[in-house]
Amino acid sequence: MGLLRHRHDEPAGTRFQMREKLLSIGDDFWIENDQGQRAYKVNGKAVRIRDTFVLEDTSGNEVARIKERKLSVRDKMEIERGGDTAATVHKALIGLRDRFTVDMKGGTDLKAHGNVTSHEYEIERDGHTVATISKKWFRVRDSYGVEIAAGEDVPLILAVTVAIDSLT
């Protein structure tokens, strides 16, 4: 069942507003909740030969670090938490549609599929939608929404979304 088709007695997911192609290195931007309040900051840093983005909470505490790995067979992004790799995001090499896999350290892997370049896709775990990404919810130019299912790790899912955006 998609996140947008929930029953009234079920809690809806949390929705955030992201900037499209937010990832010019050196740029910082805020991820806002659906009330327009700042929720997380993405700090774009140029570090040596790879791109790095730091996801911070509103107090400036690092909640995830997203690092590009260009020296592999295909480009991928690693998401670190507390200095350890929590997940690795990479583009699938098969099919005509955009597909990404998220290898979770110590957890069930995620898959992102749909029209990723148009910011209309879902992130799933074992066939269950954990996040829906869409441009339709916000009328702000060059932005898109991320709705995260209740009970999910919000900073991790937002970091996955930043990583996918940077790989497209």
Between 18 and 156, residue with greater pLDDT? 156
127-139 pLDDT, tens digit each? 999 999 998 877 7
d(CA 119, CA 105): 26
Classify domain 15-167 at the CATH topology level: Porin (2.40.160)
Write the pLDDT tens digit of every residue in 32-63: 888 889 999 887 765 444 577 889 999 999 99
Segment 145-149 mean pLDDT: 94
Residues 6+ apart with CB under 8 A from 36: 17
More confident residue, 136 or 92: 136
**The tokens of 71 are what?**
């020296």
- Whether residue 152 has pLDDT greater than 60: yes
Report the candidate in 27, 1, 58 with the shortest Cα–Cα distance to residue 165: 27
